[in-house]
Amino acid sequence: MTLVTLKDVLQPALKNGYAVAGLVTLGWEEMRAYVAAAEAENCPVILQAGPSCRDHTPLPILGKMFRHLAEAASVPVVAHLDHGYTVEDCRIAIDSGFTSVMFDGSRKPLSENITETAAIVEMAHAAGVSCEGEIGFVGYSGGEGSAGTNPDEAAQFARETGVDAMAISVGNVHLQQDKEGGLDMDRIRAIEAVTEVPLVIHGGSGVPVEQRSALARGSKVCKFNIGTELRMAFGHALREAVNHDPSRFDRVQILKETHDPVVTATRQVLRAFKGA
């Protein structure tokens, strides 16, 4: 069994100069492909259940799916709740066998975010589970704008919450389909100068691959969340499979044809985060 916590994979990454991918899942097909890709690349992987995934499949089921894959995997696998917005979200995830939870209080005032995150950290640690927090709201492409993380507030947040990882807002945007954005390196350097906590980039699909690699090898950014990029790979493969033979109706046969393309795309993502 290679089910591990977020801290288990991020502390070695911080020490040895690489990053771990937090891969956003929507269903069984992606999960399976992500683990297969991680095994092929011989690196750890974080399976993430975000809000849209949870809307489709209940957390107790997702926990069993993640753990089933981890138990058979040859590489470390983290079962991670992405963007939990309430104590109840995080409690259900912990009770469902997740090994890591992310509480997103980034829209709240700093003092409230710290207080609520610290309470969830305490609950998670008591259960042997890791906790990621967010300071500085990360917005959405075509939607809410990002609020850049203040380095002094980041230092206070890390110190007073005890989080195992800290998501920051440094020019990153969720759901970005191109890789032309780039991150604010000066802000990243200012944040990492005042904390030892592993840093997390949400909206990693919008970050140029060269910058992903440079940060993985030369900063305290130890986790990149990748969703949109791999959703696009899955969607393209699914469209090709459906259009290849419009008379087919067995979704199991159709979905099987998404596996290899998603594995290939995921392996390319994972390679960028490896050490020098």
Let me know if 180 is exposed, middle or buried by CB neighbors in 10 A (0-12, 13-18, 19+): exposed
In sign, the C-alpha dihedral spanning 270, 176, 165, 67 is negative
Cα separation, 204 vs 171, in Å, equals 11
Q: Alpha helices, DSSP H only, in 171-271?
A: 185-192, 209-218, 228-244, 251-256, 259-271
Cα separation, 117 vs 109, in Å, equals 12
Cα separation, 133 vs 165, in Å, equals 7
In angstroms, the first-to-last Cα distance of the chain is 28
The question of whether 260 is a catalytic residue gets the answer no
Element (H, E) at 3: strand 3-4
Element (H, E) at 53: helix 51-56
One of 82, 89, 104, 164 is an active-site residue; which one? Answer: 82
Token pair listed for 85: 């917005």
Let me know if 250 is exposed, middle or buried by CB neighbors in 10 A (0-12, 13-18, 19+): exposed
Cα separation, 212 vs 217, in Å, equals 9
Residues labelled as active-site residues: 82
